[in-house]
Amino acid sequence: MNVKEMRGQRIAIVGGGLAGIAAAEALSRFPFEIHLFEAKRSLGGRAGAFREPDRPSLIDRCQHVAMGCCTNFLGLCRRLDLKACFRRDTKLYFIDRDGKQHPFSSSTWLPAPLHLAGAFLRQKYLSKEEQQQIRSALWEMAPPQAAVTYAGYKMRDWLLEKHQSEATIAHFWEIVLVSALGAPLSEVSFTAARKVFVDGFLRNRQAYQVYVPTIPLQDIFDVQAAQRLGEKGVHFHRQSPVRQVAYFNSRFNVRYGHGDEAVFENFIAAVPWHQSPKIFSPILKNLMPKLDNVHEIESSPISSVHLWLDRPLTKLPHAVLLDRTSQWVFNHGSRQLRDSTCYYYQVVISASQALTGIKHEDLARQVLGELVSAFRATPAPYLLDQQVVTEKQAVFAATPELEGLRPNQGTILPGLALAGDWTKTGWPSTMEGAVRSGYLAAEAILRKYGHHEPVGDPDLPVALISKWLWGLGKED
């Protein structure tokens, strides 16, 4: 590694989402001059928030959570001193159609993958036959060879082939996978679904744990993360959309804002897949032929229903709801709404295509009715205010065709890299996938200067029993 060659070399990172933030964090460990361009006023990308005039607090567009298996995201938070912004929940709550709560938590002493055996047995809405179906399918999907054998399968087809009943699919597989992968099981790939269960449940005791933001996402990424990166020397250009980047004399000429231009030795495009091809000159785009096909990546919407009520519904921090349109509900506690105290809940509905055309007021009241039923709230709370936010391109759908469309972060041109959860990370559309892509893009830049060490974090270690039973870890 030649540190002298790095010193003073300029890097442009376009896109202030988690991919761009991660790339900037990794490269700030070296003596580069780093400039991060963001078209919007705030950083964070899809992990952002908005503010309504009559509500003093920020509102997250959609609830984002991480899991214990998200080692690179958690590593980024550690390096930027953001860990205090998240709470770690070791117990989840599933609520059945009758309003009965079923806690889901790990054994205090059993190793993975046995640590969650009791948690599954406590899900009494699953019959003994359904639980046996699940155990049988998990056993068959766990070995690394299964990812090869069933590579072209859609998950629902695979489940039916493995004799999973419709009730089992609805009450277990859909509950976990639709939220994780953002698409119906009839569309998502077996490979992506397998990764969710192997990495999240079978690999390590801590993998299933959930990390929930305790403050608005904008405060985390636009304020605190930006402050830490600024202290590390990163220069920010907010409200500065990049119009085009071209390549002349071994440098990247970047046109941004309202006619401004700057020259950089290195360039990272960390923007969504549907925007990435638009910023490159024809010559640069010809060097990245995979960008010609990224328009084929299918997107999936996520709807977030925000409710402000006159009284609390539950003391639970969050819950997973069965047999309802609502999927996850998050309890944000008491808030100030105009001149009174209210109680704020956010309900997340992934793969929400079916909600198109429903009026926001009607959807909010439907969701409130589901919450009242789930938590057996009497008397029912009064709806003081509501807000429905649908991100139409919230995530990409993890279809079997997806992997062939995802480009690598490094390109044929030294000093040019791509980032974004849609690039080839091996992960679905998550905060972890975005951070991994940023770190991989940073590594692509660093290779130009002879640095070949990883900048991210290793996966959680595989438990010995999981290695012995299925050979997990061999594919790493």
Q: CB 381: neighbour CB atoms within 10 A?
A: 20
Residue corresponding to tokens 């077996």: 190
| Structure token digits, residue 227 | 């402050």
Cβ within 8 Å of residue 128, ≥6 positions away: none
| Dist. CA 128–CA 283, nearest whole Å | 61
The DSSP element (H or E) to which 432 belongs, if any, is helix 431-447
**Cα dihedral angle (79, 451, 434, 436), rounded to 10 degrees?**
-80
Sheet containing 210-213: order of strands: 66-67, 210-213, 86-89
pTM of model > 0.85: yes
Residues at the annotated binding site for FAD? 38-39
CA 431 to chain centre: 3
| Structure token digits, residue 435 | 């951070």
* Residues 433/20, Cβ–Cβ less than 8 Å: no
* Residues 304/63, Cβ–Cβ less than 8 Å: yes
pLDDT of residue 56: 57
Residues at the annotated binding site? 38-39
- Domains of the chain, CATH where assigned: 3-48+216-295+402-447 (3.50.50.60), 120-204 (no CATH), 299-396 (3.90.660.10)
pLDDT of residue 63: 82
| Dist. CA 289–CA 297, nearest whole Å | 15
DSSP 3-state of 345: strand
* Residues 374/125, Cβ–Cβ less than 8 Å: no
pLDDT of residue 260: 95
| HSE, side-chain direction, 13 A CA sphere, residue 376 | 7
* Residues 403/424, Cβ–Cβ less than 8 Å: yes
Cβ within 8 Å of residue 242, ≥6 positions away: 12, 14, 37, 39, 254, 255, 256, 279
Q: Which residues of the chain have pLDDT under 70?
A: 1, 52-57, 475-476
Residue corresponding to tokens 């974004």: 420
pLDDT of residue 53: 65
